[in-house]
Copies of this chain bind each other. A is one copy, B any other.
Amino acid sequence: MSYQDLDFETDVFDKEYITVADRREAIVRGGRHLFGRLPAAFEGVHQIGVIGWGPQASAQARNLRDSLGDAVRVKVGLREGSGSREAAIEAGFTPENGTLGEMYEVIGSSEMVLLLISDGAMAETYADIFAALRPNTTLGLSHGFLLGHLTQRGESFPEQVDVIAVCPKGMGASVRALYLQGKETNGAGINASFAIEQDVTGKAVDRALGWSVALGAPYTFQTTLRSEYLSDVSGERGILLGGVHGIVESLYRRFRDQGMTDENAFRHSTESLTGPISSTISKTGLIGVYRQLDAEGRKVFAEAYSVAYPVGLELVHEIYDDVRSGSELSSVVLAGKRFTRFPMGKIDQADMWLVGQKVRADRVEQDIPLDPFTAGVFIGVMMAQVDAFMELGHPYSEIANESVIEAVDSLNPYMHARGVAYMVDNCSITARLGARKWAPRFDYALMQRAYPAVDAEAAVDTKPFAAFENHVIHEVLRVCAEMRPSVDIFVQ
């Protein structure tokens, strides 16, 4: 199924079409004023089991509980001996009030099971989980990994359950944080996609939309489970995590080599990117950054964009090919099996990030420079991912969220607050592994090919930059921005 064939019917919510250029996409807007419709959306559901307590699970369980009140019980399921038990209890999910239990018990007693454990754990336990699901219940995912894993093994989901996905386009921490901001500003939240893989109850669409609205998604767009995991797993390896990490490492070194102090090099690379560049994109779009520059700044931006774009395009295609072939998922599963012997290492112990701690401590927000070279590299790689995802047939909403909005409204504010590890390591294990794998690739490719081309004043392909000013993505972002209130992203 391609994006052209996507559409859905809902009796509970209000479907709208958004139209950009040649495409029309069906969406549902969210907001707290719709919480009264949740009982209708979850008709037949007495209990939602949230399995796991990672960043997504803990955010979603709390948002769902707050949104649903007494209408539907939200019960957390953990494996025996889980190290997260205390944290769940502290958040109010307890055995005493019937909202915390052993995972298979919770799976077997819920009409809707949100399976939010790590991908590695899913690969280990999916057969037992499938066996524990009752017929005519709904299995919910926030990520298409399991479909990829099953496909690779020639297996499939159990036939007698709905299989749906609601995938917030932001890390778990911001799914919770923006939901709380939504109490003040109705509609604040993290956008989500939804997908209907199987619908045996005939209620799959409304359950998915109800789930997304209850999470606080300002708007919910449709995708397929396959399209979701291809763009999600590729996007986090690309500009969202791996790309942005590799970019700032390479720029920090470059600026130091050009004579900046350590602190200034950090300001012009990381601080500039996570601060003014990201917030300008959030408020005025990608083109807003460019338009804000003076003539000399625009020249520098264009040069940087032109050399970074082809490097980004090549890497995003490599990532996407490896995700689509199953290699990347297979690596994630194998890495999970090595964790006992080789736990995941820290990524923020090198000098650069120690400098960053000092710079953040002394930060005066309005003094952070908007460096045009940094902006050009970042937006060049971002646009490469946008173009690759367009070529690969993803819906516009998915492209905008997986390449731009998630970066500037969810992830980069975390790096801005406390550095690269605070962003990367608050994401899923699959994302953390992917960021560790691909950040160095972006760094080397920029260092080996993009920057030498600038320094040698080599002839570069100017077509991608020429296409930038009138790119359809600007209109897509403008329409997406209209769907939600402008909220200053605040990360503690």
Contacts and interface: CB of A to CB of B under 8 A. Distances in A.
B327 A331 contact: yes
A130 B159 CA distance: 42
A282 B53 CA distance: 54
Given A325-B334, A330-B325, A441 B437 contact: yes
Q: Which of A346, A347, A444 has the most CB of B within 10 A?
A: A444
Nearest to A444: B440
Interface in A320-373: 321-322, 325-328, 330-331, 334-335, 338, 341-342, 345-351
A23 interface: no
Contacts of A351: 257
B314 A342 contact: yes
Given A325-B330, A439-B444, A441-B440, A318 B338 contact: yes
Contacts of A331: 318, 321-322, 325, 327
Interface stretch (A103-111, A136-144, A228-236, A446-454): A446-454
Contacts of A451: 350
Contact of A334 (B321, B346, B439, B445): B321
A37 interface: no
Contacts of A317: 338, 341-342
A253 interface: yes
Q: How big is the A interface, by class?
A: 35 or more
B321 A448 contact: no
Nearest to A314: B342
Contacts of A437: 441
- How many copies of this chain does one complex carry? 2
A156 B347 CA distance: 43
A443 interface: yes
A321 B338 CA distance: 10
Q: Which of A321, A331, A350, A436 has the most CB of B within 10 A?
A: A350
Contact of A322 (B313, B334, B436, B443): B334
Contacts of A334: 318, 321-322, 325
A419 B345 CA distance: 31
Contacts of A335: 318, 321
B452 A350 contact: yes
Interface in A412-460: 436-437, 439-441, 443-445, 447-449, 451-452
A448 B325 contact: no
A256 to B, nearest CB: 9
Contacts of A257: 351
A345 B440 contact: no
25 contacts: A314-B342, A318-B331, A318-B334, A318-B338, A321-B331, A321-B338, A322-B330, A322-B331, A322-B334, A325-B331, A325-B334, A326-B327, A326-B330, A327-B327, A327-B331, A345-B449, A348-B448, A349-B448, A349-B449, A350-B447, A439-B444, A440-B440, A440-B441, A440-B444, A443-B444
Which 10 pairs across A and B sit closest by C-beta, in order of nearness?
A: A440-B440, A327-B327, A349-B452, A440-B444, A321-B334, A314-B342, A345-B449, A350-B447, A327-B330, A325-B330
Given A347-B444, A350-B451, 15 more contacts: A313-B342, A314-B342, A317-B338, A317-B341, A317-B342, A318-B338, A321-B331, A321-B334, A322-B331, A322-B334, A325-B334, A345-B448, A345-B449, A437-B441, A440-B441
